[in-house]
């Protein structure tokens, strides 16, 4: 019984794919190293930091010394001075967000703000400086308010980003890993040789799918571990739910990769088909930003994309602590995509 299991076509094809994969350094890099590099780079670029002080410049002239002293008392401002030409140069070069000029007209005095309204930093600087000057002039707020900064794990961009990168890795690994491998074997006439063996088509398709799933799941586990110990990303839900989503996601995109490669005969053809399938998901499924940013009338289409329920389910579990019963709609869509594409791939697959 043990010997027959080892010699089963699915087992032998799986082992052959495994050996072929580990002998390709570039495949190992793109599957295991590149997702980590991307996560670390984006995590560092969008790391949570205290609000930076705003650079402004005070134009020299009557009242500029008093103005500089008043503004320098705010810890949120970095204040420098200069003549008009120097101030304009600093604003133009982005070295300062705002030019402040003290003005006096008889008994009345005031301030002029020069800034670029198309730059969010300049608009914010104008509001902060105006608040400082109004308070210095004696303004009091009629309602007392308090600020509470939230920096706990789960609310940061890296916590939002990691589920998106996991979904992107599963999509790329399944579609590219399976699609390119099959078309490459078709070009090298390897599939034509399989046609002369007793091996059945479902055995080959299942072996290709399962081998890719086995490669992808450790890759995602590594991403989860690095995100946890490097960036402190916490899973607020069940690890079983996360692993179930990952396994079904690997199954889903391996099936899509199989379907795309079922008839393609050239690398150019399969590349075009894979890009056609993946580009809408890269843009619309919410890898780097929420898919809710798109207009309401396209939301039904976005919700049905294969990647959208996977990323949505991962975020529900990891960020919101959702239970298994709360992500059943996402699991159902993922499972349907995987089952339908696998069935269609078997039906239309050609050896040559």
How far the first Cα of the chain sits from its last, in Å, is 34
The residue-averaged pLDDT of 305-321 equals 91
> Rounded to whole angstroms, how far apart are CA atoms 164 and 213?
18
The residue-averaged pLDDT of 207-218 equals 75
Residue 201, class by beta-carbon neighbours within 10 Å (0-12 exposed, 13-18 middle, 19+ buried)? Answer: middle
Closest CA to 35 of 160, 157, 154, 164: 164
* pLDDT value for 328: 93
Q: Which residues lie across from 55 on neighbouring strands?
A: 78
Tokens standing for residue 352: 């040559």
* pLDDT value for 257: 87
Task: Please state whether beta strands 108-114 and 98-105 pair in parallel, antiparallel, or not at all (unpaired).
Answer: antiparallel
Closest CA to 231 of 161, 317, 313, 322: 161
* In contact, 5 and 11? CB cutoff 8 Å: yes
Cβ partners under 8 Å of residue 254, min gap 6? 174, 177, 178, 208, 209, 210, 212, 213, 216, 338
The residue-averaged pLDDT of 75-85 equals 88
> Rounded to whole angstroms, how far apart are CA atoms 168 and 35?
9
Instruction: List the beta strands (DSSP E) in the chain.
Output: 54-59, 77-82, 98-105, 108-114
- DSSP state letter for 296: G
* pLDDT value for 34: 67
In tens, the pLDDT along 120-173 reads: 778 888 888 888 888 888 877 676 655 555 555 556 778 888 898 888 888 887
When computed from its CA atoms, the radius of gyration of the chain, rounded to whole angstroms, is: 29
User: Count of residues for the chain?
Assistant: 352
How far from 338 is each of 121, 179, 235, 241, 306, CA to CA, in Å?
46, 15, 25, 18, 9
Closest CA to 208 of 191, 189, 195: 191
* pLDDT value for 17: 64
* pLDDT value for 40: 73
Question: What is the value of pTM for the model shown?
Answer: 0.67
In tens, the pLDDT along 164-208 reads: 888 888 888 778 777 777 888 888 887 778 777 777 777 777 777
In tens, the pLDDT along 267-312 reads: 888 888 888 888 888 888 888 888 888 888 888 998 999 999 999 9
Tokens standing for residue 215: 């490669």
* In contact, 242 and 167? CB cutoff 8 Å: no
**Domain 54-136, what fold?**
D-Maltodextrin-Binding Protein; domain 2 (3.40.190)
What is the chain's mean pLDDT, rounded?
A: 80
The residue-averaged pLDDT of 7-22 equals 66
- DSSP state letter for 324: G
H or E element in which residue 96 lies: none
In tens, the pLDDT along 50-73 reads: 557 788 889 898 888 888 888 888
* pLDDT value for 155: 61
**pLDDT at 236 > cutoff 70:** yes
* pLDDT value for 46: 60
**pLDDT at 75 > cutoff 60:** yes
Domain residue limits, the chain? 9-46+153-348, 54-136
The residue-averaged pLDDT of 26-35 equals 61
- The residue among 90 and 194 whose pLDDT is bigger is 90
pLDDT-based confidence at 28, cuts 50/70/90?
low
* pLDDT value for 1: 45
């Amino acid at each position: 019984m043990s010997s027959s299991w080892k010699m089963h076509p699915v087992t032998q094809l799986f082992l052959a794919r495994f050996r072929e994969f580990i002998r390709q350094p570039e495949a190992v890099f793109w599957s295991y190293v590149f997702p980590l590099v991307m996560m670390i780079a984006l995590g560092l670029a969008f790391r949570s930091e205290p609000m930076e002080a705003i650079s402004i410049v005070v134009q020299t002239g009557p009242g500029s010394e008093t103005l500089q002293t008043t503004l320098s008392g705010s810890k949120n401002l970095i204040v420098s001075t200069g003549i008009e030409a120097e101030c304009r140069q600093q604003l133009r070069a982005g070295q300062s967000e705002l030019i402040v000029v003290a003005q006096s007209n008889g008994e009345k005095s005031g301030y002029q703000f020069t800034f670029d309204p198309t730059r969010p930093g300049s608009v914010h600087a104008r509001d902060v400086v105006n608040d400082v000057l109004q308070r210095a002039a004696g303004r009091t707020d009629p309602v007392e308010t308090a600020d509470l900064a939230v920096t706990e794990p789960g609310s940061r961009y890296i916590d939002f980003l990691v589920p998106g990168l996991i979904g992107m890795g599963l999509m790329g690994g399944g579609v590219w890993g399976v699609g390119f491998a099959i078309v490459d074997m078709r070009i090298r006439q390897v599939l034509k040789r399989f046609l002369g063996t007793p091996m059945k088509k479902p055995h080959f398709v299942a072996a290709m799918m399962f081998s890719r799933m086995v490669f992808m799941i450790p890759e995602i586990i590594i991403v989860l571990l690095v995100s946890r110990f490097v960036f402190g990303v916490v899973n607020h839900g069940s690890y079983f739910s996360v692993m179930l989503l990952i396994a079904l996601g690997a199954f889903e995109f391996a099936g899509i990769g199989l379907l795309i490669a079922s008839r393609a005969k050239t690398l150019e053809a399969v590349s075009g088909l894979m890009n056609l399938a993946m580009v809408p998901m890269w843009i619309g499924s919410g890898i780097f930003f929420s898919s809710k940013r798109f207009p309401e009338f396209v939301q039904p289409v976005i919700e049905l994309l294969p990647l959208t329920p996977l990323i949505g389910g991962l975020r529900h579990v990891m960020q919101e602590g959702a239970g298994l019963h709360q992500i059943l709609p996402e699991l159902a869509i993922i499972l349907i995509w995987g089952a339908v594409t696998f069935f269609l791939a078997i039906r239309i697959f050609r050896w040559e």
